Structure 1
Amino acid sequence: MTASSKAPDTLTMYSTSWCGYCARLKAQLERDGITFVVVDIEQTPAAAEFVMSVNGGNQTVPTVHFPNGAALTNPTLAEVRAELAAV
């Protein structure tokens, strides 16, 4: 878990259009009723920069950014729930 100085207002999942892991997590979040936004890092350079900043320079997706500033890379639904409960 890595903290960022600028936390999003809503749970944010950084993704790409072709990422299977992203599609799976998105479907799980939707089924669980968790409110989130998706940002495509290939369309949003600032998002790609954030993802690289929390993943050792790599554009690893899904990267999930929480309202408390924490970020998790390729988390399970259980990890997302646990982090949201900590918020």
Structure 2
Amino acid sequence: MTGTAEIVMYGADWCGDCRRAKAWFKRNEVPYTAIDVEHDDQARDQAIELAGGRQNIPVVVLPGGVVLVEPSDTQLAEAVEKALTA
């Protein structure tokens, strides 16, 4: 997924941080693709690999390959702005 041209978020419906990140994307009209790691073992393994072995979600992959694990709204805003203006 490194070097992706879109924003991809690995997460699960039950995850509060994932719901918060989805709400941030919606509020800021930032398109992204959500991948459910709860029902897709391959996606879960990919998220763990991207997160350097951590099993925390959400894992957000930005254009250019930047990976954020459990980002705050502030971290998400800064990273998305930087990735989309690069």
- Regarding TM over 0.5, the answer is yes
Specify every segment of 5 or more residues in structure 1 that has no aligned partner in the other structure, as ranges. none
Q: How does 1:1-87 map to 2 (within 5 A)?
A: 6-75=2-71, 76=73, 77-85=76-84, 87=86
Aligned residue pair count: 83
- Quickly say closer, same or farther: Cα 1:16–1:30, change in 2 above 3 A: same
Distance in 2 (alpha carbons) for counterparts of 1:34 and 1:84: 12
Q: What CA RMSD, in Å, does the superposition of the two structures yield over aligned residues?
A: 1.9
- Where do 4+ consecutive residues of structure 1 move more than 3 Å? 6-9
The alignment-based identity, stated in percent, is: 30
- Unaligned runs of at least 5 residues, structure 2: none
TM-score by length of 2: 0.78
- Determine the C-alpha separation between the residues in 2 that align with 1:54 and 1:86: 23
Could you state the TM-score of these two structures normalised by the residue count of structure 1?
0.77
